[in-house]
Amino acid sequence: MVTEKCAIITKPSAQSRKGEEKEVIDVLKKFYNNIEFSSDNACLDGGDILRFENHFYIGQSKRTNAEGAKQLTKILNKYGYTTSTVPVKKILHLKTGIVYLKENTFIGTDEFINNDIFKDFTVINVDSREAYSANCILINDNVIIPKNFPNSKKALIDAGYKTIEVEMSEFEKMDGGLTCLSLRIPMDNSK
């Protein structure tokens, strides 16, 4: 994961993903002076890290353990960020079910719409039949959303967002979402 102040190399929990983290280090060195690492006993998937301004929600799921959340919190606190944990029970990752858009607005599924952690925010409700579409990305003023989810698209448009649909059906079959396919490096970092 990356912030304006540092990049953090985490350890995925899925055996099939072990070693992936080594592949990105050389690329991140081009952009960051500060690269932090979690230890081997700290499992943490990027899909369980949800940023809201300078606060990070850390999903505790099948893929992210308590030690992973603890180590990420320590690293982020060092750079002036705050964190809190969110239990993830019904889905793979936190960002599978809820994503921050802007101006105190999230888009999410029932598991998070009714969660007290998000009660002070506006949460655009994703129809349960279109839950996959909650994993979307705001870039500039456009919400990039998976294709073929008309109710979610309409809810976003009704909330004042412009949408761009992209074909994601093959990634969906493997539980891959838009946030899984992106590592957005802030271009105003210090390197």
**180 carries an active-site annotation:** yes
Comparison of pLDDT for 177 and 162, the residue scoring more? 162
- pLDDT tens digits, 103-114: 999 999 999 988
Backbone angles phi and psi of 167, in degrees to 5: -70, 120
**Considering the domain boundaries, does residue 190 fall inside one?**
no
93 included as an active-site residue: yes
Q: Given the residues 6, 43, 93, 136, select the one marked as catalytic.
A: 93
Host domain of residue 107: 7-181
84 Cβ contact partners less than 8 Å away, ≥ 6 residues apart: 55, 56, 57, 58, 117
Token pair in block for residue 167: 């074909």
- What is the CATH classification number for the domain harbouring 67? 3.75.10.10
Tens digits of residue pLDDT in 43-69: 998 899 999 999 999 999 998 999 999
Residue 191 included in any domain: no
Structural domain count of the chain: 1
In a domain, 188, yes or no: no
Cβ–Cβ < 8 Å for 63, 10: no
On whether the pTM is more than 0.85, the answer is: yes
Asked if residue 2 belongs to a domain, the reply is no
**Tokens, residue 142:** 């456009």
